[in-house]
């Protein structure tokens, strides 16, 4: 068996630097410009965190050496994500469009779907996705059913006296303290101060109804 003596001055760095195939690649100013353009884009914050982290990491690298082919390709894909879309089909002044846009941001913001698009819509009030994406966002029955209940509005207002009852236990009389719309289950929910317990409890709209008013007795006329 043959044995080879290793030089005490040998190292991996020396092996690469002394190799004819190794040539350090200088930084490319054009890549630095592209990276800065991505970071300064108003929609940069709408990118997924891993993409933001990638851009920040290659910014430091690009200052001293050229990016690899794989890094350049990924940078190009991120640049594509930030390209402006064609909004000529969208009427931003239409009240119904304004309401539906707000609902989409809130609904998909709660469900987690279309996250990239929603983050862009949050970051830029003028941003709208391509028409095909918008139509796809409205193509399922769940968002349409929830939007229908949302525009129907709340049935009870703050200060209303109501009767609230869960699917179990006795009914409670109380007064509405607050209300809001739950985008996840598509229901209006009410915070009701229950007279029996003195505490505020949350009820769905299906669990609340107006308190029945007792009919007033007719007064007898004096002769």
Pick the last residue of a domain from 53, 81, 109. Answer: 81
Question: Alpha-carbon dihedral of residues 134, 137, 138, 140, nearest 10 degrees?
Answer: 150
What does pTM read for this prediction? Answer: 0.64
pLDDT in tens, 19-49: 455 455 788 899 999 999 999 988 788 788 8
- Alpha-carbon span 121 to 114, nearest angstrom: 11
Residues 167 and 145 in one domain: no
Looking at residue 84, its pLDDT comes to 76
**Burial call 28-59: b when 16+ CB within 10 Å, e when fewer:** eeebeebbeebeebebbebbeeebbebbeebe
Looking at residue 214, its pLDDT comes to 59
Would residue 194 count as lying in a domain?
yes
Would residue 19 count as lying in a domain?
no
Residues 102 and 77 in one domain: no
pLDDT cut 90: percent of the chain above it: 60
Residues 100 and 75 in one domain: no
pLDDT in tens, 102-120: 999 999 999 999 998 998 8
Would residue 137 count as lying in a domain?
yes
Pick the last residue of a domain from 130, 152, 174. Answer: 152
Reading the block at residue 72, the tokens are 């350049």
Would residue 1 count as lying in a domain?
no
pLDDT in tens, 164-199: 999 888 999 999 999 999 999 899 999 999 999 999
Distances (CA, A) of 44 to 4, 33, 133, 139, 223: 54, 15, 20, 28, 84
17: pLDDT confidence band, cut at 50, 70 and 90? very low
Would residue 5 count as lying in a domain?
no
Looking at residue 217, its pLDDT comes to 61
Residues 197 and 167 in one domain: yes
Residues 60 and 109 in one domain: no
Contacts 24+ apart (CB under 8 A), 193-198: 194/164, 196/172, 197/172
Q: What is residue 182's three-state secondary structure?
A: strand
Identify the domain containing residue 182 by its residue range.
161-210
Reading the block at residue 79, the tokens are 């640049």
Would residue 205 count as lying in a domain?
yes
**Domain total for the chain?**
3
Would residue 12 count as lying in a domain?
no
Residues 169 and 135 in one domain: no
Residues 77 and 29 in one domain: yes
Would residue 10 count as lying in a domain?
no
């Amino acid at each position: 068996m043959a044995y080879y003596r290793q030089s005490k001055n040998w190292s991996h760095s020396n092996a690469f630097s002394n190799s004819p195939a190794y040539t350090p690649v200088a930084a490319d100013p054009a890549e630095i410009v592209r990276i800065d353009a991505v970071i300064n884009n108003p929609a940069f914050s709408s990118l997924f965190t891993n993409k933001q982290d990638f851009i920040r990491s290659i910014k430091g690298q690009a200052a001293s050496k050229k990016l690899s082919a794989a890094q350049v390709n990924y940078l190009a894909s991120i640049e594509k994500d930030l390209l402006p879309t064609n909004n000529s089909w969208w009427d931003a002044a239409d009240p119904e469009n304004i309401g539906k846009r707000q609902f989409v941001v809130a609904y998909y913001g709660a469900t987690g779907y279309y996250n990239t698009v929603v983050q862009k819509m949050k970051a830029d009030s003028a941003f709208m996705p391509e028409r095909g994406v918008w139509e796809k966002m409205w193509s399922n029955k769940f968002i349409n059913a929830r939007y229908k209940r949302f525009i129907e509005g709340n049935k009870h207002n703050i200060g209303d006296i109501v009767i609230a009852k869960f699917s179990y236990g006795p009914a409670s009389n109380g007064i509405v303290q607050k209300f809001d719309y739950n985008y996840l289950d598509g229901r209006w929910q009410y915070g009701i101060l229950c007279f029996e317990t003195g505490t505020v409890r949350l009820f769905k709209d299906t669990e609340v109804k107006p308190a029945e008013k007792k009919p007033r007795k007719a007064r007898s006329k004096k002769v």
